[in-house]
Structure 1
Amino acid sequence: MQHKVTAQIGANSINIETGKIAKLADGSVVVSCGETMVMASAVSATVIKEGQDFFPLTVDYREKAAAAGKFPGGYFKREGRPTEKETLTSRMTDRPLRPLFPQGYFYDTQVISILLSADGENDPDILSMNGASAALTVSDIPFKGPIGAVRVGRVNGEFVANPTHAMRLQSDLDLIYVGTENDVIMIEGAANELPEAEFVKALEFAHGHAREMIRAQKELAAQVGKTKREMPLLEVQPELLEIAYQVAGDRIEGALCTQGKVARSKAVDALRQEVKTAVLQKHPEADDFAISQAFDYVQKKAFRVSVLEKQKRMDGRGYQDLRQISCEVGVLPRAHGSAIFQRGETQALALATLAPIEEAQMIDAYGGGEQSKRFLLHYNFPPFSVGETGRFGGASRREIGHGALAERSLEPVVPSENDFRYAIRISSEVMESNGSTSMASVCGGMLALMDAGVPVKDVVAG
């Protein structure tokens, strides 16, 4: 049976339908605004894979060229690897969903959103986020939602909910807000030096519209009437937690506060091995998952006590204390601009390259929006930066996400095309990582821009 609800978000109506397509999925909806339509589906396994020790949630968003009445570019005329827009939308959809599944729910779960129709004005990313929540809400999958997602712009001093691409060109704010009925879950976006008081007003404005999206999803779920499945959850026996606390409880904080990342890891690993030995002596049937969860319980408890009660971070710093910072520019002779930014044990090597404006990146923007980018920031995180071996190849979803975050931080101070007719690319190569490499990329990128002689409007740090 088909069901449909409508939410009024600002000047636009958002429709959510279910029961027409993808009916074999555990939950599926079609979300539409104007002539932009996104199908979202959710499926979760009913058996936990043997040895599973984490929640295997995958969230993917894909755009079809046909949605915009186009052929895909390239020789094969078929959609290929995910675009940056698809990757960022996938990550943005994933983040607010992930914490709302029950503790110990380790069943393979997949959420897929597909752009079916694009009018070029209404951005499909917000529809994907609300659609993913709606698909989970109408399904029988355990989920502590729904969530409501809204984009907030500010045009001529007035807040606008889910502005069109044309309106966003005039906006000095691009805020993505996701919340439950009473709490905020995720905030993401950028602004052109928006005052803090205005930002707080934007959050309050957004939450009202998020609630309207939640209301519509609850109404749809009531119409569908599916009962949530009762699934056994992976939980650790309380006696194992007690053994772990007895072995490591009075020493874990000392291990976590060991100076230096490598030394800290060795101290923690030694305690972890002691906990494993003690648990197996009394409970030889305990598996690796139970032992790992027991030790993590002790670690998390020590973290919370240190940070919330003692107001001290693991390296001994207080809330307001900074790690030692050093900066160096002009480090590479052939780069147009280069810099090394070091903060504690985090180090980013940033390179800035200038090129003719014709080198700007062209974009297949099926969902509308910018067709080209003249300012790019690419973030690379090799495994040696954390002293490990691992995959080293094309950009991961995390690398694309961190690069986009740093890019949005610097873009407002890059001179306009009329004032500086160059395409600009920053490449941030993370050389060492012990916290906040994305913000090190912002600082290193800023230094590299200035070293390259780019007449930036202001100085940015993060």
Structure 2
Amino acid sequence: ELAELCGKQKKDFDLVKAPDNVLELCREITGNRMEDAIFADSKQERQVAVDAIKEEADKACEEKFGDDYDSDHVKMAFEVIQEEIYRENILIKGKRADGRGPDDLREVTCETGVLPRVHGSSIFSRGETQSLVLSTLGTSRDVQDLDGLTGGPTSKSFILHYNFPPFSVGEAGRFGFTGRREIGHGALAERSVLPVLPPEDEFPYAIRVVSEIMSSNGSTSMASVCGGSLALMDAGVPLSGHVAGISTGLVSQHDENGNITKHVVLTDIIGAEDHFGDMDFKVCGTRKGVTGFQLDLKIQGLPFDIAKEAVVQVTAARMKILDVMDAALPSHRTELREHAPRIETVKIDPEKIGALIGPGGKNIRRITEVTGANIDIDEDNSGKVRIYATNSEAMKRALEEVDLVTGEIEVGKIYRGIVRGVKEFGAFVECLPSKEGLCHISELADFRVNKTEDICKLGDEIIVKCIGIDDKGRVKLSRRAAMEESKPAEDTESSNEESKEETAEPAAS
């Protein structure tokens, strides 16, 4: 209805086609040289050789046809000639441009941890296609906000970006806006890796993967899937398994009625086989199954038996790629990289959320400034608190600060408390803010204490251990037990110092 109301009328474009006389002259000029050019060793050599012949044909056509000369006609003529040579060699001779058989895979190599500063990185190469993939872990504040016109999710915590710079195909060009092709390739890779990611409640990170295509000659989106899986494992993301992707192509011959009379399914197609072929069938998955696929066709429909043949070939190729990936990094790293944020999730009493935040956010800002950690509180009033820190010391301090405000006194734990009350029968010690217990006079020391004031006075700071909580919630503390437990550590430290002095004397003498 919107298109009828204000849509523009579609334009008609003239089909650019090589005239017969131009095509015939180009065939005469190329002769057998075009086949030699197409079967050069590398993509770059093939392109240079074809361009040299085309330049020669351009000059000849310009001299012969004069005012009727059109460089687009020569370009289309060379498209026709190349397509015929590529397809005839594959269908009749079983010969591909790079010398492989129909179901042969190009050499696959991969490496992880290639960049020291990032959270995870990998390089995945398959023939002349290479991708450098980076993975970054962020906090819940780093998720991507979504504003859909028709509802749906409001954010997503896994993002995969695909970049295809001009230099990847040997060109000098400008880095402009992200194109539809880049968005589409990134979306295919993203949804193919997504099924193996851990649930957010188990791994509460926002994850961004960026695939930088260094060199391109076919199926860079599949290289992004493989490299993305390796980079995530390198970052310590506990994937359920590696994901690999590979594509198959098709070259077919048809009768007068359009029925396929002969066909060849090609594994791991290069760029020219995608361009001159009939199909690009990308399939991604683990050893257990498929996680994503995409089919591009240039013919009217794909017979089911050919589709089955393609799936069989692509599955065998995927297993070979997974073998190489498993050899490079069989599982995710057990520890996150040095610079990756650490996340701890603690559960507090929902009624204490206000105390943790403090008036106007004063308390939570203080914890952030003192520790250097970030603290997020779930908005669903569940009492779930996530702490983000870049090192273990900051994480430890932040956990202590949160526990001080929201925690309960636990049996078996040692606390550094403040004496808030002195009685004949013992001392009341505040272990946590507004949380105190009684340290009986018999538990103040490992000898008989006649008066509580002999050991502690009001406002003194002492260490105590919680030795029990009765049915009415009364906390029992013991200074004697805390001192006994901390004594072995002190003895060990002193003995270590003595041994150091003993070993140092001979060296000094």
TM-score, normalised via structure 1 length: 0.50
Q: 1:342, 1:356 → 2: CA distance?
A: 31
Structure 2 residue aligned with 1:44, among 11, 16, 26? 11
Higher mean C-alpha displacement, 436-445 vs 354-363 = 354-363
**Is the contact between residue 338 and residue 350 of structure 1 (CA under 8 Å) also seen in structure 2?**
yes
User: Pick from 235, 253, 270: which aligns with 2:17?
Assistant: 235
Match of 1:264 in 2: 46
- Name the structure 2 match of 1:369: 152
Separation in 2, partners of 1:405, 1:254: 36
Change over 3 Å in CA distance of 1:461–1:19 after alignment to 2? closer
Task: Letter of the 1:271 partner, please give it.
Answer: I
- Check if 1:411 corresponds to 2:194: yes
Q: Which of 81, 84, 88 is equivalent to 1:305?
A: 88
1:33-62 deviation line (CA, Å, top 9, x unaligned): xxxxxxxxxx215xxxxxxxxxxxxxxxxx
Q: Percent identity?
A: 52
Correspondence for 2:5: 21
Report the secondary structure of 1:305's partner residue: helix
Taking a change above 3 Å as real, the CA distance of residues 19 and 382 of structure 1, as seen in their structure-2 partners, is: closer
For the pair shown, which has the larger CA radius of gyration, 1 or 2? Answer: 2
Correspondence 1:246 to 2:28: yes
> Which amino acid is the alignment partner of residue 254 of structure 1?
D
**Inter-CA distance 423–44: structure 2 relative to 1 (3 Å threshold):** same
Distance 2:121 2:172 in 1: 27
- State the partner residue of 1:336: 119
Secondary structure of the structure 2 residue equivalent to 1:365 = coil
Amino acid at match of 1:405: L
Distance in 1 between residues matched to 2:17 and 2:212, nearest whole Å: 40
SS at match of 2:244: coil
Q: 1:423 aligns with which of 191, 206, 231?
A: 206
Please say if 1:385 is aligned against 2:196. Answer: no
Partner residue in 1 for 2:106: 323
Where in structure 2 are there 5+ consecutive unaligned residues?
246-509
Pairwise CA distance, 1:280: 2.7
Local SS of the residue matching 1:426: strand
Q: Is the 8 A contact 2:16 2:72 kept in 1?
A: no
1:19-168 aligned at under 5 Å gives the runs 21-22=5-6, 25-26=8-9, 43-44=10-11, 105-106=13-14
Alignment partners' CA distance in 1, 2:2 and 2:184: 31
Q: Which structure's relative contact order is higher, taking Cα pairs within 8 Å and 6+ residues apart?
A: 1
The equivalences for 1:389-400 within 5 A come to: 389-400=172-183
What do you get for the CA RMSD once the two structures are aligned?
A: 1.9
1:283 to 54, 65, 68: 65
Report the CA distance between 1:19 and its aligned residue.
Answer: 9.5
Q: Which amino acid aligns with 1:237?
A: P
Q: Deviations over 1:157-201 (max 9, x none)?
A: xxxxxxxxxxxxxxxxxxxxxxxxxxxxxxxxxxxxxxxxxxxxx
2:242 match: 459
Query: CA–CA distance in 1 between the matches of 2:126 and 2:168?
Result: 14
- The number of residue pairs the alignment matches comes to 244
Deviation at 1:279, TM superposition (A): 2.2
Give the distance between the partners of 1:19 and 1:345, measured in 2 at CA.
44
Report deviation, 1:22: 2.9
> TM-score normalized by structure 2?
0.46
> CA-to-partner distance for each residue in 1:197-219, whole Å, 9 max, x for gaps?
xxxxxxxxxxxxxxxxxxxxxxx
C-alpha distance in 2 between matches for 1:311 and 1:365: 49
| Structure with the bigger percentage of helix | 2
Question: Runs of 5+ in structure 1 lacking a partner?
Answer: 1-16, 27-42, 46-104, 107-232
State the one-letter code of the partner of 2:97. Answer: M
Between the aligned partners of 2:167 and 2:16, the Cα distance in structure 1 is 34
Residues 20, 258 of structure 1: CA spacing in aligned structure 2 closer, same or farther, 3 A cutoff? closer
Cα distance change of structure 1 residues 416 and 301 upon mapping to structure 2, 3 Å threshold: same
With over 3 angstroms needed to count, the CA separation of the structure-2 counterparts of 1:18 and 1:372, relative to structure 1, is closer
Any idea what SS the aligned residue of 1:282 has? Answer: helix
Does the aligned pair in 2 maintain the 1:249–1:298 contact within 8 Å? no
